[in-house]
Structure 1
Amino acid sequence: MTNALEELPQRAVAANGHRAGAENGLVAPAATAKSRPHTLLLVPVAAGIALAIHFFITRHQLSAGQYYWLFLFIVLGAGLVGAALYPFFSGLRERMHNLSAIFAAAILLLGLWEVITSGLRLLPLPYFPSPAAILDSMINDRGLLFDSTWHSLMMLMNGYVLGVIVGLISGVCIGWSSSIRYWGMPVLKIVGPIPATAWIPLAMVISPSTAVSSAALIALAVWFPVTMLTASGISNTRASYLDVARTFGAKESYLIFRVAIPAAMPNIFIGLFMGLGASFLTLVVAESVGVKSGLGWYVSWAQGWAEYGKVYAALVIMAGFFSSLMTLLFKVRDIVLVWQKGIIKW
């Protein structure tokens, strides 16, 4: 018993030393050194299944969907290369561990989609084209799609930036000044909840051009959530922060820009995210009504010609386009609110 008690401190010291060495990179954890075969093979196996499905369905016309063949072979090759490099790069191991299942499920979903559309023909054509047809439409019409994406990006940025600027100014004023809040909050509560798309008929009459009216509608859609969340964050700034600043002789401008606005940044970013989501919807609707360029216009144009492969191609680009902008805003949020890392997750 005495020997066992004497060994306990030594074991604790050894365990602490091993843990510290692992944290400093001196001792590799056993879990990191082991590879996960199921993680390595998820994407290649899924790509192989999708290739087999595509070959079986198009075996009598192998020239069909040539871009889809190339896409699946690229995915298969990338999966095999990732599996080969898996033991050597810790960052790659982490990414494959987190994303392999998602990518494999997406590839299998493409295979299932092809079985339902081109194989069993359970969905009516041309309204539900196969993945190969969508990819062909995307590549064959890449010039017009790129031009439409560029116009949508410019219009979205113009409207979003304008809405954010106006929303931040009005939100700070309403949140800080009680007199401005008295007059501004009723207007905000009445005008704000009205969907921006409901103003399209009036905007087309008042605005000198459809591009200006579309940007104004996007700005209106962004303005309401940014203003509301900014005003809420400013008005809920802790009084102790303001009292400490006043004790050191801070002026009102210092209280607003150096105390209230930094304290309200979490709320402001929530408003920015909500405004960005609202701007996507307004952009597509506004482009489909009067604008002669952009992804929304492209969808309406392709639908008019019953080119549903192009419609789905535009939807895929929209998904990547909007998701990229949302991810970029998340990156900006992480940089500005670095103090929230590990504390708040949203």
Structure 2
Amino acid sequence: MNKYAKRIINYVLPFFTAALSAVLYFAIPESGKQKVMDYPYYMFFLLSAVIVIAVLMIAGIFKKEFRAKLEFKLPLYAGIILFLGLLNTLVCKTRLLPVLYFPSLDKVCGLLWTQRVFLIKNLVFSLGLLVQGFSFGLVIGFFTGLALGYNRHVGYWLNPVTKFLGPVPTTAWIPLALSVFPTTHGANVFLIAFAVWFPVTLMTASGIQSVNKTFFEVSETLGAKTFFKVFRIAVPASLPQIFLGLFYGIVSSFATLMAVEMNGNSQGIGWYINWQKSVMMYDGVYAGLIIIAVLCSLILTLLFKIRDKIMVWQKGVIRW
């Protein structure tokens, strides 16, 4: 198969799988077990996805680099559409899976649309909690790692504390945090900050300790002060490890966010998932999981974009 024919197939494939999914949706009769929705919400979602892909294809005409990236991802988009079509067929057209735990895609998409305002409110609350906890954990973790990595006297006293407290799972601190802090919100911010603090501290200290000592010796010969050596030599040289710590910190903060919101909160995406599970509405559980997965993926993508902009010399070394 020549290169031109392969490109044509890549461009046609998402529309073909979307058409196949639509045929499976309308041609095969329902099993009768799933609740019939007022509107074909999954078909609306599928149509929206096809329109977005078509717009991206048109945009690719005017930008060669973007077109190359899009052509690489088109088979993946087609595979996702096909997977969703087959999943919906299995769930709605057969009796193989229990209805309670496997709702139709119409129900999941319909819930995302009909409860969008309520979901956005919970998402905003979760984001606020996440930003507060992550900010505290990042700042404290960075300076703790800086002290551990650069000053051996500080490291002598602080390193055992970090090794003792850091590996303890964040969820193990929930009972103590709820007892010590006057409000649940304060306890939740502390727990998220703690989840971010350890990986940022560990990777920052590791990065600074791995900096070539010759750089410090040369800078001292040229009259550099401590501030210059720390923030103009140690920190820039350890940026790859610092960003790796941020990556682990973000993942840990999301896991902790879900755990703390399921304990004592009255709003937030984690609370929403737990609430939907308690009332046996698993379409809401899947909707909440989709929101969290998309949000986490977007934040990590943004982090890696920033990383590639700051560390141009390492662009593409770690991909997301």
TM-score by length of structure 2 reads 0.92
Call closer, same or farther: CA 1:230–1:83 in 2, change over 3 Å: closer
In the TM superposition, 1:83-122 aligns within 5 A as: 89-122=63-96
Q: In structure 2, what residue type is equivalent to 1:188?
A: T
Q: Hey, what does 2:318 align to over in structure 1?
A: 345
Return the match for 1:190 from 138, 159, 164. Answer: 164
Return the match for 1:235 from 209, 218, 221. Answer: 209
Q: Hey, what does 1:127 align to over in structure 2?
A: 101
Please say if residues 57 and 67 of structure 2, whose CA atoms lie closer than 8 Å, have aligned partners that are also in contact. Answer: no
Question: Shift of residue 315 of structure 1?
Answer: 0.7
Q: Hey, what does 1:25 align to over in structure 2?
A: none
Call closer, same or farther: CA 1:261–1:96 in 2, change over 3 Å: closer
Over the aligned positions, Cα root-mean-square deviation in angstroms equals 2.2
Q: In structure 2, what residue type is equivalent to 1:345?
A: I
Distance in 1 between residues matched to 2:242 and 2:70, nearest whole Å: 34
In the alignment, does 2:282 pair up with 1:308? yes
Please say if residues 207 and 242 of structure 2, whose CA atoms lie closer than 8 Å, have aligned partners that are also in contact. Answer: yes
Greater alpha carbon shift after TM alignment, 80-89 vs 213-222: 80-89
Distance in 2 between residues matched to 1:56 and 1:82, nearest whole Å: 30
Please say if residues 41 and 83 of structure 1, whose CA atoms lie closer than 8 Å, have aligned partners that are also in contact. Answer: no
In the TM superposition, 1:95-244 aligns within 5 A as: 95-244=69-218
Q: Hey, what does 2:8 align to over in structure 1?
A: 37
Greater alpha carbon shift after TM alignment, 67-76 vs 232-241: 67-76
What secondary structure does 1:36 align onto? helix
Question: Shift of residue 76 of structure 1?
Answer: 3.3
Q: Hey, what does 1:257 align to over in structure 2?
A: 231
Distance in 2 between residues matched to 1:34 and 1:116, nearest whole Å: 33
Question: Shift of residue 314 of structure 1?
Answer: 0.8
Distance in 2 between residues matched to 1:79 and 1:46, nearest whole Å: 13
Please say if residues 207 and 237 of structure 2, whose CA atoms lie closer than 8 Å, have aligned partners that are also in contact. Answer: yes
Q: Hey, what does 1:75 align to over in structure 2?
A: 49
Q: Hey, what does 2:25 align to over in structure 1?
A: 54
Distance in 2 between residues matched to 1:176 and 1:159, nearest whole Å: 26
Q: Hey, what does 1:317 align to over in structure 2?
A: 291
What secondary structure does 2:262 align onto? helix
Distance in 2 between residues matched to 1:304 and 1:95, nearest whole Å: 43
Call closer, same or farther: CA 1:252–1:78 in 2, change over 3 Å: closer
Question: Shift of residue 87 of structure 1?
Answer: 5.2
Q: In structure 1, what residue type is equivalent to 2:318?
A: K
Greater alpha carbon shift after TM alignment, 65-74 vs 162-171: 65-74
In the alignment, does 2:262 pair up with 1:291? no
Deviations 1:69-114 (A, max 9, x none): 2222233344455566765542452133111111111111111111
TM-score by length of structure 1 reads 0.85
In percent, how many aligned pairs have the same letter? 37
Greater alpha carbon shift after TM alignment, 117-126 vs 278-287: 117-126
Please say if residues 40 and 96 of structure 1, whose CA atoms lie closer than 8 Å, have aligned partners that are also in contact. Answer: no
Q: Which runs of 5+ in 1 are unaligned?
A: 1-29
Call closer, same or farther: CA 1:206–1:266 in 2, change over 3 Å: same
Please say if residues 130 and 189 of structure 2, whose CA atoms lie closer than 8 Å, have aligned partners that are also in contact. Answer: yes
Distance in 2 between residues matched to 1:296 and 1:128, nearest whole Å: 20
Q: Which runs of 5+ in 2 are unaligned?
A: none
Distance in 2 between residues matched to 1:63 and 1:230, nearest whole Å: 52
